[in-house]
Structure 1
Amino acid sequence: MSKLPDSNISKRQTDAAPVTKNPIAPAPAHLPDSMISSVSLLPTDKRLILFTRHSLRERSDGNGFASYQLPLTPKGRVLAQSWGRWLAGHLPYSLNVDSISSPIGRCIDTAQLMQEGAGLQRHIEHQSLLVEPGSLVTEPDIANPVFKEIGVLNFINRFLQGNLEGTKNAYQGGLDLLSLFYQNQPQQGHLMLAVSHDTLLSAFLAVMLDVIEIDWNDWPKMMEGVFLWFDDKPFEQASAYFVWRGEVYVRPINSLLEGYRLSGFHPNKLLLPPEVKWT
């Protein structure tokens, strides 16, 4: 990854004890190794969100273009269900909360199967910001041909570098997703699922980590995700905390807003949330 000169992201040492009820319990088959190492770093009693790529799906074409019609594989269905069961059985967090998901079938199925694994059947809200066009692409007629021509990794890097027509500013894409998560935070002690795609997750993480170029080593695997929570403060005053691949990070939201303004964009384009109050 290539760092920007002035980074507002910092690694954070967690002083919380590991949250797993049984940390030596075997992980579900085919689950990315990073997920269990991240679980061991989670704090307790937060409004936790798991922003995850969907489970194992059928193969895409050689340029990284995955049709929205591609379903989960049988192994992917088993993985999603077993991962939901593992989380419910080994975290001191309740998954008994509605989920949000891309409206694409493999993402909805992932959320539903994870709920089933946890012994639940909750509403799954379809969110347009968790699919494209949405968080990154604003003009698919312009952006889609470029995507097919240069491939997914080059597409994301050009997006991060502000060199791609038909898309949002990278800060705006990250802030719009943060706003979505902020507005949908569960109650304390609960874990909400947000299921999406590799392109959105990779771009979001790059913005949060303040980098302008990624490679295939940074690319999220299927059923790999980032755990996220916020300060209990108004959005613009809050910090976003997240655990990705066994590291804990904190990013002040005002640093993202400042980066967006310095890029020459007006805040009225952002999907900033209203004040959130919890009962």
Structure 2
Amino acid sequence: MNKLPDTTKVKLNPDVSARHSPSAQAPAHLPDSMMSSVSVLPENKRLILFTRHSLRERSDGNGFASYQLPLTPKGRVLAKSWGRWLSGHLPYSLDVDSISSPIGRCIDTAMLMQQGAGLSRSILHQSLLVEPGSLVTEPEIANPVFKEIGVLNFINRFLQNNLDGTKNPYQGGLDILSLFYQHQPQVGHMMLAVSHDTLLSAFLAVMLDVIEIDWNDWPKMMEGVFLWFDDEPFAKANANFIWRGQLYTRPVSHLLDNYHASGFTTDKLLLPPEVKWD
């Protein structure tokens, strides 16, 4: 059973929903949830697709995916065909620079999605989209625990703020949110942000205010969340996002309040200087 809650779901206003009913066949191996999400996308937003990379080679015998693992041939085809599909069937232009984890399979996913859309834009490497970065601050402490307890238990302990060598979970969520806020594209454009399953799963849990997830909540390869902000300064904005066909709205101020309630101050956040707070 999924542990992510239903209580924060909201309905899209018919006046802003694009009401997409895609008739074209989805790319092979694309998670079904992506078509559900596409069908309820709004129009005329500064849209961000925060996605896990495409299909990669199998992890080694200990079950952990090293950063050297590349995309499979099917994964390369999927990324390119997904970019082509998005470009051809949504009222959004992908003609904007992408951001990505600096790991090869994430960069390749962004590059192939751009190629599928007929584009060749810059792909900016972002340390907040890889580990250590968004969750882990002291890998020499956190990595042995990761290998001992496994990835799902690791993320749940992170969410429960019970893991040495990592950030407060609200700081991790706010850091990623601020990265996206800073890189919002123009209205009517969609930016790609490519990362890994651990970051995406933790980010979604923080956004939905849950402290435990299970494997049903885990993002599949090439599965992602569509996100956009209200046209407000960061601290006053709502973060709106569509995950597995459902729309959620989360005030940034709510995450900030929870962060401060944990005993932290705003100056500890790894926010870029360009973020407007007021």
Instruction: Normalising by structure 1, report the TM-score.
Output: 0.94
What stretches of structure 1 of length at least 5 have no aligned partner? Answer: none
Distance (whole Å) between structure 2 residues aligned to residue 195 and residue 274 of structure 1: 22
Name the structure 2 match of 1:174.
173
TM-aligned CA distance change 1:231 to 1:189, over 3 Å: same
TM-aligned CA distance change 1:54 to 1:3, over 3 Å: closer
**Contact 1:2–1:212 (Cα < 8 Å) also in 2:** no
Name the structure 2 match of 1:13.
11
Counterpart check, 1:137 vs 2:136? yes
Q: How does 1:57-68 map to 2 (within 5 A)?
A: 57-61=56-60, 64-68=63-67
Name the structure 2 match of 1:92.
91
Counterpart check, 1:165 vs 2:164? yes
Amino acid at match of 1:116: Q
Query: Could you report, residue by residue, the CA deviation over 1:202-247 in whole angstroms, capped at 9, with x for unpaired residues?
Result: 0000000110000000000000000000001000000000000010
**Contact 1:50–1:194 (Cα < 8 Å) also in 2:** yes
Task: Find the residue that maps to 1:241 and give its secondary structure.
Answer: strand
Q: How does 1:94-133 map to 2 (within 5 A)?
A: 94-133=93-132
**Contact 1:235–1:275 (Cα < 8 Å) also in 2:** no
Identity across the alignment (%): 79
Name the structure 2 match of 1:44.
43
**Contact 1:182–1:273 (Cα < 8 Å) also in 2:** no
Name the structure 1 match of 2:208.
209
Task: Find the residue that maps to 1:31 and give its secondary structure.
Answer: coil
Query: Could you report, residue by residue, the CA deviation over 1:68-126 in whole angstroms, capped at 9, with x for unpaired residues?
Result: 00000000000000000000000000000000000000000000000000000000000
Q: CA RMSD in A?
A: 1.7
TM-aligned CA distance change 1:144 to 1:186, over 3 Å: same
What stretches of structure 2 of length at least 5 have no aligned partner? Answer: none
Name the structure 1 match of 2:25.
26
- Cα deviation for residue 271 of structure 1 reads 2.5
**Contact 1:47–1:230 (Cα < 8 Å) also in 2:** yes
**Contact 2:97–2:191 (Cα < 8 Å) also in 1:** yes
Name the structure 1 match of 2:231.
232
Counterpart check, 1:187 vs 2:186? yes
- How many residue pairs match? The answer is 273
Task: Find the residue that maps to 1:121 and give its secondary structure.
Answer: coil
Distance (whole Å) between structure 2 residues aligned to residue 65 and residue 26 of structure 1: 33
Amino acid at match of 2:187: Q
- Cα deviation for residue 18 of structure 1 reads 3.4
